[in-house]
Amino acid sequence: MTKKTPLPPLTPKEKSVLEFIEEHILSSGVSPSYQEIKDHFGLASFNSVQNYLKQLTAKGYIENPLGQKRAIQVLHSASAFQERQSKLVSTKTGSQSSQLLQARDEILSLPLLGKVAAGLPIEALKHDEFVDVPPSMVRNPAKSFALKVQGDSMIEDGIFDEDIILIQKQNTAGNGDIVVATVENEATVKRIYVRAKPDSGSSQKLVELRPSNSTMKSMWYEPEQVEIRGIVVGLIRKF
């Protein structure tokens, strides 16, 4: 009897890409395009997509015929390796280890798109990186991403320099929400309010991006100058 060669393990990033491909095929009947993979994970380039597909092909999880659109074929599910390992661990060490492995598999990988200012606006940098988060921390994983905070203007809301904030993509927010907004293509994280500027003598409503740091002042903009990219739904801090 020929003994099957075990599948190589997947990194969290590879597993997320493979799961997306599987879900797309199940829901639409065809594999996703490079553009759809790139957009879903917020990848910086098509080279990043190609690299992930090459890794999955080399590990035996997919076939990806070159030069053919929507031709990705899933040979093994994203859970194939984990299920095999789970059975092995359960046999060797009992149900407790199996439960730990299962819990680890439930972690989500969200794209880490760069840094965002909790101070003066800075350019949002795009990186091909991911961060692992518990599913309970995000409401809609398909519309969520992560950013690393730079600066201390939100410290009174418990958001500190180098923290990682989790963002749900949307272009609207309520007064007082903590948002990631862009002004002239520069991104910042602040509380947002739409109101007339006090002591201005005008009733015109402006967008106030308010820091949560009593030593700093709000920034005021015309509504058309501000684009809301999403609201903050979670925070991760590494010690």
What's residue 209's pLDDT?
Answer: 96
d(CA 30, CA 50): 18
The whole-number pLDDT of residue 79 equals 67
Whether residue 210 contacts residue 200, with contact meaning beta carbons closer than 8 Å, is answered with no
Q: Which fold has domain 108-236?
A: Umud Fragment, subunit A (2.10.109)
Q: Locate 36 and state its tokens.
A: 């759809």
Q: What is the pLDDT of residue 104?
A: 41
Taking residue 192's Cβ as centre, other Cβ atoms within 10 Å add up to 20
Active-site positions read 153, 190
Tens digit of pLDDT at every position of the chain (239 positions): 455 567 788 888 888 888 888 888 877 778 888 888 888 888 878 888 888 888 888 888 888 876 566 788 888 887 654 444 444 444 444 444 444 434 444 577 787 777 777 665 544 445 557 888 887 788 788 888 888 888 899 999 999 988 999 999 999 999 999 999 999 878 899 999 999 999 888 899 999 999 999 999 999 999 999 999 999 998 887 76
Q: Distance (Å, rounded) from C-alpha 135 to C-alpha 126?
A: 23
In the chain, where are the structural domains located?
12-105, 108-236
Q: Is 188 helix (H, G, I), strand (E, B) or coil?
A: strand
Could you give the 3-state DSSP secondary structure of residue 28? helix
Q: What are phi and psi of 56, to 5 degrees?
A: -65, -35
Burial class (CB in 10 A: 0-12, 13-18, 19+), 12: middle
Burial (0-12, 13-18, 19+ Cβ within 10 Å), 209: buried
Type of residue numbered 201? G
pLDDT attached to residue 53: 87
Asked if residue 239 lies in contact with residue 163, where contact means CB atoms within 8 angstroms, the answer is: no
CA angle 67, 69, 70 (to 5 degrees): 135
Using alpha carbons, list the distances in angstroms from residue 229 to 8, 82, 158, 171, 182.
37, 35, 21, 6, 7
Q: Cα dihedral sign for 116, 120, 121, 127?
A: negative
12-105: in CATH 1.10.10.10: yes
Q: Which residues contact 33 (CB under 8 A, 6 or more apart)?
A: 69, 70
Rounded CA separation 11/34 (Å): 20
